[in-house]
Amino acid sequence: MLISSEGIVLRQTRITGGRRLINLFTRDYGKITAGTSLNEKGKSRAALALRPFTYSEYDIFKSKNSFNINSASVRESFYSIGEDMDRYFAASKLIEYIDSILEEGVPSPKLFEMTIECLRCMSESVNGPRTLLYAFVIKSLRVLGVMPHTASCINCGREDVVLPVFSVTAGGLLCSECASLHGIQESGREPSRLIYEPSFDIVQVLDYFIKTPFRQFIRLNLKPEVESELEMIVSEYVSYYLGSDVFRNSVSLGIE
Ligand SMILES: [Zn+2]
């Protein structure tokens, strides 16, 4: 059966016979693995569509157990990502993250839209491609239904107290009382990596990331101290809830 879908290349691997395996994030079919004899070298429309950071339309032959990309044409190329190290690094992490959280064959049009818009903004970003990356990750938590709970203490439900502690394992904020109880339960389970006392207003920051469109992050940089703390929390959080170690392994996203 011939199908067609918009998509973006997540990864590609050379296989025998001059063929490639392409991991493609498609709008209509989610993440799929497709073989192809098309080559990214050269200047043909199909060649360009196999390059990284390119949003394309793919014509795919679908058999019972496999996909083959027959032809492709570029819709939009975010080529300027490759012209800047910071953009390139942030966009590569974005693609790696998406690849790690998507299940094969499960469509997620919302995440697809977000990916295209985030790459578009990264390609135009002036000084904050990493802020766009955090914005994507935090927005994705909401789409995937694992957004941290911040409206009240996640353990006792109190709203009228200060909530100074963010617990990864509990999935949100804790009041001081519950935090000390929780801390005891957590001892021996890497408590220092899973319980944080953010020095910034994490409720405000998460809320801002959720409500603000990607476009507004093009010129926005987080304060370095907020960024490094947020990165630590987010990397442990996505590792714990989504099994994605993309940010954990990077240790630092290049913060000086
Ligand atoms: Zn509590």
Residue 180 Cα, ligand 1 centroid: separation in angstroms?
Answer: 10
pLDDT at 128: 78
Question: Within 10 Å of residue 40's Cβ, how many Cβ atoms?
Answer: 18
Which residues, 6+ apart, have CB-to-CB distance to 91 below 8 Å? 52, 53, 78, 81, 119, 122, 123, 129
Tell me the mean pLDDT in the region 49-65: 92
Q: What pTM does this model have?
A: 0.91
Confidence of residue 255 (pLDDT cuts 50, 70, 90): very low
Residue 64 Cα, ligand 1 centroid: separation in angstroms?
Answer: 52
Mean pLDDT over all residues of the chain? 89
Provide, rounded to the nearest whole percent, the portion of the chain with pLDDT above 90. Answer: 72
pLDDT at 250: 56
**The CATH number, out of the four listed (3.30.70.141, 3.40.190.10, 1.20.1440.120, 1.10.357.10), of the domain defined by the range 90-256:** 1.20.1440.120
Residue 201 Cα, ligand 1 centroid: separation in angstroms?
Answer: 18
User: For residues 162-199, b (16+ Cβ closer than 10 Å) or e, as one string?
Assistant: ebebbbbbbebbbbeebbeebeeebeeeeeebbbbebe
Q: How far apart are CA 218 and CA 105, in angstroms?
A: 32
Model confidence over 162-180: pLDDT tens digits? Answer: 999 999 999 999 999 998 8
Is 253 a residue whose pLDDT tops 80? no
Half-sphere exposure of 219 (CA within 13 A, CB side): 1
Confidence of residue 135 (pLDDT cuts 50, 70, 90): very high
- The fold of the 1-77 domain, in CATH, is OB fold (Dihydrolipoamide Acetyltransferase, E2P) (2.40.50)
Model confidence over 87-131: pLDDT tens digits? Answer: 999 999 999 999 999 999 999 999 999 999 999 999 999 877 999
Residue 145 Cα, ligand 1 centroid: separation in angstroms?
Answer: 22
More confident residue, 47 or 13: 13
Confidence of residue 254 (pLDDT cuts 50, 70, 90): very low
Is 142 a residue whose pLDDT tops 70? yes
pLDDT at 51: 86
Residue 162 Cα, ligand 1 centroid: separation in angstroms?
Answer: 9
Residue 225 Cα, ligand 1 centroid: separation in angstroms?
Answer: 27
Q: Minimum mean pLDDT among 115-119, 179-183, 222-226, 243-247: which range? A: 179-183
> If we measure between CA atoms, which residue out of 59, 11, 2 comes closest to residue 31?
11
Q: Distance of CA 225 to CAs 125, 135, 229, 232, Å?
A: 21, 17, 6, 11
Contact call for residues 104 and 66 (beta carbons, < 8 A): no
Q: Provide the residue ranges of all domains of the chain, joining segments of one domain with +.
A: 1-77, 90-256
Residue 136 Cα, ligand 1 centroid: separation in angstroms?
Answer: 29
Residue 204 Cα, ligand 1 centroid: separation in angstroms?
Answer: 19
